[in-house]
A and B are shown apart, each in its own frame.
Chain A
């Protein structure tokens, strides 16, 4: 049974810092891994999708990497801004369904 864990559970940083969010999964037989952002009381915003054959994806200040063999993915946020404050979720795509991680609540202080 796939289990997805995110560390840290919560993170508070001053504006401008570069930061790394971690996602680990127990079963390396995945189709893809997707990072989402969720603002309080809102739905999900897709940030980056990494297919199983890829090692990383980049979008603006965001970079996500995938290491299937070790069961890990990281989301790197460069030059963090207060607007980045949200909960970040990773989801591992299996044969037909996603398993979500526990989430990291990020707060960027101005």
Chain B
């Protein structure tokens, strides 16, 4: 099956610093990648959708200048949390799909990155 990896799996940083999280599709080319955030004991909330070679589409309420997304290739998308603060501490999960083929749009999820901002 399709495999998606994330790096790092966990990161601790000081308030005010920036953190970059990578999402890679290992055995397929992902036309679209998605970034989710999950707070403790809550469900996943979609933050943004990124398409290779174009600007990301952010969900309502997500600050695009704070959460920078780059999808430079068909196998790599990065999420940079700029000037991180303790309230940004969360579990970040990415997913990727092949794109719409006959209506099928199964997403394959990475293992997640736990960010703790001190």
Q: Which of B61-69, B78-86, B109-117 lies at the interface with chain A?
A: B109-117
Contact status B109-A43, CB under 8 Å = yes
Expressed in whole angstroms, the Cα–Cα distance for A17 and B44 within the complex equals 28
Check: A63 CB closer than 8 A to any chain B CB.
Answer: no
Check: A83 CB closer than 8 A to any chain B CB.
Answer: no
Contact status A98-B111, CB under 8 Å = no
CB closest residue in chain A, given B10: A41
Q: Measured between C-beta atoms, what is the minimum distance from B62 to chain A in Å?
A: 13
CB < 8 Å: which of A36, A93, A99, A102 contacts B105? A93
Measured between beta carbons, the chain B residues less than 8 angstroms from A89 are 43-44
B contacts with A, residue count (CB < 8 A): 23
Measured between beta carbons, the chain B residues less than 8 angstroms from A103 are 43
Contact status B32-A96, CB under 8 Å = yes
Contact status A100-B44, CB under 8 Å = yes
Measured between beta carbons, the chain A residues less than 8 angstroms from B49 are 96-97
A contacts with B, residue count (CB < 8 A): 24
CB < 8 Å: which of A32, A91, A101 contacts B104? A32
Expressed in whole angstroms, the Cα–Cα distance for A89 and B103 within the complex equals 22
Expressed in whole angstroms, the Cα–Cα distance for A52 and B100 within the complex equals 13
Contact status A97-B34, CB under 8 Å = yes
Measured between beta carbons, the chain A residues less than 8 angstroms from B112 are 42-44
Expressed in whole angstroms, the Cα–Cα distance for A89 and B93 within the complex equals 14
Measured between beta carbons, the chain B residues less than 8 angstroms from A93 are 105-107
Q: Measured between C-beta atoms, what is the minimum distance from A29 to chain B in Å?
A: 11
Contact status A32-B106, CB under 8 Å = yes
Interface residues of B, Cβ cutoff 8 Å to A:
32, 34, 36, 43-46, 49, 91, 93, 95, 100, 103-112, 114
**Can you give 8 A-B contacts (C-beta < 8 A)?**
A32-B105, A32-B106, A34-B106, A42-B111, A43-B93, A51-B103, A96-B32, A98-B107
